[in-house]
Structure 1
């Protein structure tokens, strides 16, 4: 595996973000920044305190802080802020542990306007209290800007909550899983710990390497929502508004840019506008100038579709598919029925329409 002892890291602290004029709620500095200390536990590290430390070092107060890894309470008492150790959650004292039996906090309990009820880890605690400042700085937006609020929520739901749940042992679903997922960020951080039989490994070097990995993913996620996800919303709004021009059923929408992230926006807008019937198919041009017809899933992350392309088409290609379907220009239908292709827009539309017609005939 890795050898942290031999790892060469060309940094001594992670402080990538500029101080933002928009930051208003960072904890007050007690000393000069260079003397600040962030305390966390030593021994095996986990994704939650690694992310918590990274986030703190994006704040002006802790930008140049030293990270102290120890379980010695006397040493922790000298730290300006402590995460994931110490048995205390008290924001007024800058103590953010979640391991004590009395701890039950969630995003919803601390921020009542939020919906998430997953028990917080040290990552979630730090994000809950300081994350909006950090997001505003990255976005170069005011704390009160609706975009800051939107992306703060999305980053929690699609990044931080997973880390909270894994660290607290919250199952993603009931029952036995069909397969194991071992490539999550939490697992990758765990694998950066020194091996059990690796002598004289430098734990701090490993911890800083983990901070680099976690920090890069956090930054990438926030910037993705800023640069790619948010601009896609208007494309989805336009497509939904024109859906009945596309097809009288209102169940097919055509995207002007097929590569845009449409799922989150589609579900949000359908709920906001109380759209009925829900949209079943999204049509868009692919990078080769052909057309795709993609099924809308029943929920984000699900492999089940609201309406799959016809089962007899699934796994069939090219001329065989065109002959079977009676639609010229067919290219493929995926074996699971969630997506298909045609050489023309009209052909892709007909694939969606025939699927809906088959559904309607079976329902009548």
Structure 2
């Protein structure tokens, strides 16, 4: 008989740590599959055999038995333990395909690539994996106690980052129906009565072929008129720019140029402008459309 498993436990290797197993543990905690106080940092086969999950150690990739190592010759795939755990969550229907893509495309692919040595090392770019590495003790001869303490500090950071990603994704999803309703009118502008994250939902709902060119919504105490990008991949461009003569103007100068009393600001890139009231933003839209 095999060793009796400790429910909700997870075994990972001791010594220095990396972003992949920290992230794997954070995902398992956030989705309520393990307890943080049951994480065992060891390479002892006897101790690992008692863990319900084993990540980044053990030499076996076998999701059916909750074993997630990628270092052995037999595994030639692109995943690290982070990607293996994320895929496990999808295959167990804990995450939908869309939810899996959200985590994978915004974080985990980069963690996998960094751990497997295939990510581009670009000067001046500090990735999530670099930040995780900076939690490790500075001295290479650090004691196991120092490594243990550092690991759990890194884990707290990873949990917070992943939880905020998850919460933001779910909030964005909750706004999708509002965006869908605005899109139904097929107008040149999407009107929102409150500030919401609209762009991802807009393109997920077929925004690439939608006729809207602008968004009007509150911006703090004011209102903004913002151009819509042609596609989700080209966020820095807009389908129609704001008037050239408004570029970079503030307050009185923008009031004079636009003839709109509630003018506040127009970005020099001509993709966004801010106005005192909703009516001012609508006037700015009318001015812009007349000049096209």
CA-based RMSD: 3.5
Cα deviation for residue 32 of structure 1 reads 5.3
8 A Cα contact 1:193 1:203, kept in partner: yes
Cα deviation for residue 189 of structure 1 reads 1.7
Alpha-carbon distance in structure 1 between the residues aligned to 2:289 and 2:17: 52
Pairing partner for 1:321 from 238, 254, 258: 254
- Structure 1 pair 216/207, CA: closer, same or farther in 2 (3 Å)? same
Cα deviation for residue 211 of structure 1 reads 1.4
8 A Cα contact 2:217 2:224, kept in partner: yes
1:254 aligns with 2:254: no
Cα deviation for residue 160 of structure 1 reads 3.2
8 A Cα contact 2:3 2:50, kept in partner: no
Choose 150-159 or 311-320, whichever is displaced more. 150-159
Pairing partner for 1:208 from 138, 144, 152: 152
Alpha-carbon distance in structure 1 between the residues aligned to 2:142 and 2:52: 32
Alpha-carbon distance in structure 1 between the residues aligned to 2:93 and 2:256: 56
Pairing partner for 1:275 from 209, 216, 223: 209
Cα deviation for residue 355 of structure 1 reads 3.7
- Structure 1 pair 256/101, CA: closer, same or farther in 2 (3 Å)? farther
Alpha-carbon distance in structure 2 between the residues aligned to 1:185 and 1:120: 16
Cα deviation for residue 253 of structure 1 reads 1.0
1:127 aligns with 2:86: yes
8 A Cα contact 1:263 1:300, kept in partner: no
Equivalent residue runs for 1:44-59 within 5 Å: 44-57=16-29
- Structure 1 pair 132/339, CA: closer, same or farther in 2 (3 Å)? farther
Alpha-carbon distance in structure 1 between the residues aligned to 2:30 and 2:251: 53
1:239 aligns with 2:182: yes
Alpha-carbon distance in structure 2 between the residues aligned to 1:320 and 1:308: 19
* Paired positions, count: 289
Q: Secondary structure at the match of 1:337?
A: coil
Alpha-carbon distance in structure 1 between the residues aligned to 2:254 and 2:56: 57
Pairing partner for 2:162 from 203, 210, 218: 218
- Structure 1 pair 236/37, CA: closer, same or farther in 2 (3 Å)? closer
8 A Cα contact 1:135 1:152, kept in partner: no
Residue 31 (structure 1) aligns with:
4
Q: Secondary structure at the match of 2:240?
A: coil
- Structure 1 pair 54/291, CA: closer, same or farther in 2 (3 Å)? closer
Q: Structure 1: state its 5+ residue gaps.
A: 1-28, 106-118, 137-147, 245-249
- Structure 1 pair 235/166, CA: closer, same or farther in 2 (3 Å)? farther
Cα deviation for residue 243 of structure 1 reads 4.2
- Structure 1 pair 60/270, CA: closer, same or farther in 2 (3 Å)? closer
Equivalent residue runs for 1:91-102 within 5 Å: 91-100=63-72
Q: Structure 2: state its 5+ residue gaps.
A: none
Alpha-carbon distance in structure 2 between the residues aligned to 1:170 and 1:265: 32
Pairing partner for 2:227 from 269, 290, 295: 295
Alpha-carbon distance in structure 1 between the residues aligned to 2:138 and 2:79: 28
- TM-score, normalization by structure 2: 0.80
Deviations 1:164-184 (A, max 9, x none): 344344547xxx96x6232x4
- TM-score, normalization by structure 1: 0.66
Deviations 1:271-311 (A, max 9, x none): 5xx7343x3211012221x2201122342583333333234
Cα deviation for residue 156 of structure 1 reads 3.5
Deviations 1:32-60 (A, max 9, x none): 536x7533233331221012123334677
Alpha-carbon distance in structure 1 between the residues aligned to 2:239 and 2:74: 42
- Structure 1 pair 356/122, CA: closer, same or farther in 2 (3 Å)? farther
8 A Cα contact 1:38 1:65, kept in partner: no
Q: Secondary structure at the match of 1:202?
A: helix
